[in-house]
Amino acid sequence: MKFLSLAVISTLALAVSAAPAKTNTKAKVAILGGGVSGISAAKNLVAAGITDFVIVEARDELGGRAHDIAFAGKRVEKGCNWVQGLGTNPINEMAIKWGLKTVSDNSDNVVFYDNKGPINATDTYNAFWDAYDAANNIAIKRNKTDQVDISVRAALDLSGWMPQTYVEQAIEFYGFDWEFAETPDVSSNFYAYVNADSYDGNFGSDSDGNNFVIDQRGFKYIFLQEANQFLKPNDPRLLLNTTVKNIKYSDSGVVITAKDGSTIQAEYAISTFSLGVLQHNDVTWTPKLPEWKLVGLDGFHMATYLKLFLAWEKPFWDLNTEYVVYADPTTRGYYNSWQNLNGPGFFPQNTTSNIFFVTLTQDQAYRVEAMADADIKEEVMEVIRSMYGKDIPDPSDMYVPRWHSDPLYRGTYSNWPIGELEQHHINMKAPVQRVWFTGEAMSRDYFGFLQGAWIDGGEVGTKVAQCVKSSCPKQPYYPTIKLANETPSFVKRQEWL
267, 29 contact by CB (below 8 A): yes
The answer to whether the annotation marks 58 as part of a ligand binding site is yes
- pLDDT at residue number 229: 97
pLDDT given for residue 201 in this prediction: 58
How high is the pLDDT of residue 207? 74
Check: pTM over 0.75? Answer yes or no: yes
Does 13 carry a binding-site annotation?
A: no
**Whether 33 contacts 12, CB under 8 Å:** no
Please tell me the predicted confidence (pLDDT) of residue 348.
84
| pLDDT computed for residue 22 by the predictor | 54
pLDDT in tens, the chain (497 residues): 443 333 333 443 444 445 554 579 999 999 999 999 999 999 999 999 999 999 999 999 999 999 999 999 999 999 999 999 999 999 999 999 999 999 999 999 999 999 999 999 999 999 999 999 999 999 999 999 999 999 999 999 999 999 999 999 999 999 999 999 999 999 999 999 877 665 555 776 667 789 999 999 999 999 999 999 999 999 999 999 999 999 999 999 999 999 999 999 999 999 999 999 999 989 999 999 999 999 999 999 999 999 999 999 999 999 999 999 999 999 999 999 999 999 888 998 776 779 999 999 999 999 999 999 999 999 999 999 999 999 999 999 999 999 999 999 999 999 999 999 999 999 999 999 999 999 999 999 999 999 999 999 999 999 999 999 999 999 999 999 987 644 443 333 334 33
313 labeled part of a ligand binding site: no
**Correct CATH for 6-65+216-301+410-469 of 3.50.50.60, 3.30.1300.10, 2.40.110.10, 1.10.10.10:** 3.50.50.60
- Each domain of the chain, given as residue ranges in start order, spans 6-65+216-301+410-469, 121-210
Known binder of ligand: residue 17? no
pLDDT of amino acid 23:
75
User: What pLDDT is attached to residue 412?
Assistant: 98
Residue 197: predicted pLDDT: 66
